[in-house]
Amino acid sequence: MKKKIVVVVVAVLVVVGVVAGIVAQPYRIYPAYIDVVAIDARLDEPMPVEYYLRVVAGGPNTCYRPWRYCVMRFGNIILVKVLARHRRNELCGQLYTWEKKTIGLGRCFIPGMKYTVVVNDVVKTFVARYP
């Protein structure tokens, strides 16, 4: 009998702790809205050309802020995930907010090869150029 009561109490405490942890987080994380994607190439002192991704990201109200991004590369396909955070329980102006982000793609590109960049739902292609 005592074991059942202890198990029930522990189970209730675990559920309450999980729910309280979810509710207590001040932010929710969403994929950011993407408005503009442009790919730039810069030739610096080192010989390989370095590529950058210029992204304009945001959300549908003033509480959305572009937050983090993640870049993954699989051969000639580059996947970029841009996340936005939204503050909970806060009054927000109903105005799209946008921020410009510059994301480095690196220098390891073969000149003349075509590459595809996918940023959230936006797809762009470019051909790596010769230095």
- Give the pLDDT confidence of 52-102 residue by residue, as tens digits: 888 888 888 888 877 788 999 999 999 999 888 887 777 888 888 888 888
Q: Is the pLDDT of residue 15 over 60?
A: no
Q: Which position has the token pair 């075509």?
A: 114
Q: Is the pLDDT of residue 110 over 70?
A: yes
Q: Is the pLDDT of residue 128 over 70?
A: yes
Q: Is the pLDDT of residue 10 over 70?
A: no
8 A C-beta contact, residue 55 and residue 34: yes
* pLDDT band of 3, cuts 50, 70, 90: low
8 A C-beta contact, residue 64 and residue 97: yes
Distance between CA 23 and CA 9 in Å, rounded?
21
The residue ranking higher by pLDDT, 127 or 66, is 127
Q: What is the pLDDT of residue 41?
A: 76
Distances (CA, A) of 89 to 24, 25, 27, 58: 11, 11, 9, 19
What residue segments make up the domains of the chain, in order of their start? 27-127
Distance between CA 60 and CA 98 in Å, rounded?
9
